[in-house]
């Protein structure tokens, strides 16, 4: 693909991904305001944006096999853990932005675990195997990630284990 088209489609992928996310957040607000049909509209259109983002991403040729996809995932998580979030945290510290510091802290603690889990998955995938896990539990407040063990409370943000979402 020519470079300018590639650049544009990458931007469109970024924009659609953010719209997909934003509309889910807006759906929850509409739900709480007692407007379930506006919430329904936001959720449906959020899914349409997922379709657009997926089309752009596939057209970019970014989807590989599982080993390649895990390599890309590990690269992204490692960048976040080793570079991006530490840099953002340093600026938030300097500017005494406590809300941002908390949001960054929650993310980086989970990303360390993601990098490790994806690395283990890649080792299995390289041998043509699946991983041997039965459940993944995610904290709905901070994104803390636990495989096969539901913690009594979240070790990062303290939320009770019963609030965790199971996959």
Least distance from C-beta 128 to ligand FEO, angstroms?
Answer: 25
Residue 109 in contact with ligand FEO, rule: CB under 6 A = no
Residue 21 in contact with its own copies, rule: CB under 8 A = yes
Question: Toward ligand FEO, which CB reaches closer, 7 or 152?
Answer: 7
Residue 77 in contact with ligand FEO, rule: CB under 6 A = yes
In 10 A of CB 86, how many CB atoms?
A: 12
Of 2-10, 26-34, 109-117, 148-156, which segment contacts ligand FEO by CB under 6 A?
109-117
Q: Which residues pair with 153 in a beta bridge?
A: 160
Size of the site for its own copies (CB under 8 A): 101
Positions that interact with ligand FEO (CB under 6 A): 16, 19, 45, 49, 52, 77, 80, 107, 110-111, 114
């Amino acid at each position: 693909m020519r470079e300018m088209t590639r650049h544009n489609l990458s931007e469109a992928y970024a924009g659609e991904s953010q719209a997909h996310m934003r509309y889910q957040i807006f759906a929850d607000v509409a739900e709480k305001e007692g407007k379930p049909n506006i919430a329904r509209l936001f959720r449906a259109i959020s899914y349409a944006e997922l379709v657009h983002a997926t089309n752009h991403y596939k057209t970019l040729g970014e989807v590989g096999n599982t080993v390649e996809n895990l390599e890309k995932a590990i690269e992204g998580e490692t960048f976040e853990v080793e570079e991006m979030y530490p840099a953002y945290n340093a600026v938030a510290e300097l500017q005494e932005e406590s809300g941002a510091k908390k949001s960054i802290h929650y993310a980086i603690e989970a990303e360390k675990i993601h990098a490790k889990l994806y690395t283990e998955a890649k080792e299995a995938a390289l041998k043509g195997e699946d991983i041997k896990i039965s459940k993944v539990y995610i904290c709905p407040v901070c994104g803390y990630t636990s495989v096969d063990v539901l913690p009594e409370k979240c070790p990062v943000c303290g939320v009770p284990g019963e609030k965790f979402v199971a996959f």
